[in-house]
């Protein structure tokens, strides 16, 4: 059994706008810990998701105690989307999350170079992805899966 915490695509807008980032992280991680403790789950990995309108997970959320940075990955392919850093959660961040969930629901991924949302992504390194226009095989090396 793997505990997962799922927020819907409007959660940030409804609950996090203008709150202290440290407090949001503390509260979310406290809830996550309670879930893990309830089933005696020891892994430290993040299982925090934001679900899209479709109800499917769209975004993986990386939160760390005493940090003011939150990182986001595309839950469908593991490619990094962006990270936010600041003392206060800005309403524009909630708007971005809402937009991301709808892009991801339509099968798109954000290019890590130009920022465009595209249908086809070239996966590189651990969690990198670029569109066909930005792709350079000398720079964007395929993920190393030899250890898998």
Q: Identify which of residues 89 and 117 has a Cβ nearer to Zn ion in the complex.
A: 117
Place of tokens 């792709």: 135
The Cα 131–Cα 111 span in angstroms is 5
Q: Pick between residue 57 and residue 128 the one whose CB is nearest to Zn ion.
A: 128
Burial class (CB in 10 A: 0-12, 13-18, 19+), 89: buried
Cβ closest to Zn ion, residue 8 vs residue 113: 113
Q: Identify which of residues 105 and 113 has a Cβ nearer to Zn ion in the complex.
A: 113
Smallest gap from residue 137 Cβ to Zn ion (A): 14
Least distance (Å) from Zn ion to the CB of residue 107?
16
Question: In angstroms, what is the minimal distance from the CB of 119 to Zn ion?
Answer: 12
Distance of CA 71 to CAs 46, 61, 127, Å? 11, 6, 12
The contacts of residue 49 (CB under 8 Å, 6+ apart) are 4, 5, 6, 7, 57, 58, 59, 60, 61, 75
Q: Which two tokens stand for residue 18?
A: 């203008």
Q: Residue 68 or residue 113: which is nearer to Zn ion going by CB?
A: 113
Question: CA nearest 57: which of 100, 96, 120, 15?
Answer: 100
Least Cβ distance, residue 112 to Zn ion (angstroms): 8
Shortest distance in whole angstroms from residue 110 CB to Zn ion: 9
Binding residues (CB under 5 A) for Zn ion: these are 111, 113-114, 131, 134
């Amino acid at each position: 059994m793997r505990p997962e915490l799922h927020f819907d695509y409007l959660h940030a807008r409804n609950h996090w706008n203008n709150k202290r980032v440290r407090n949001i992280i503390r509260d979310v991680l406290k809830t996550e810990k309670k879930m893990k403790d309830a089933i005696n789950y020891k892994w430290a990995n993040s299982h925090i998701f934001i679900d899209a309108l479709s109800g499917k997970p769209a975004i993986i959320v990386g939160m760390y105690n005493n940090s003011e940075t939150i990182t986001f990955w595309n839950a469908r392919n593991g490619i990094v989307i962006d990270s936010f850093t600041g003392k206060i959660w800005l309403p524009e961040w909630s708007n971005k999350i809402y937009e991301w969930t709808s892009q991801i629901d339509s099968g798109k991924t954000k290019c890590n170079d130009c920022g465009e949302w595209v249908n086809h992504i070239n996966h590189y390194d651990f969690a990198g992805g670029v569109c066909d226009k930005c792709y350079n095989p000398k720079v964007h090396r395929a993920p190393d899966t030899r250890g898998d």
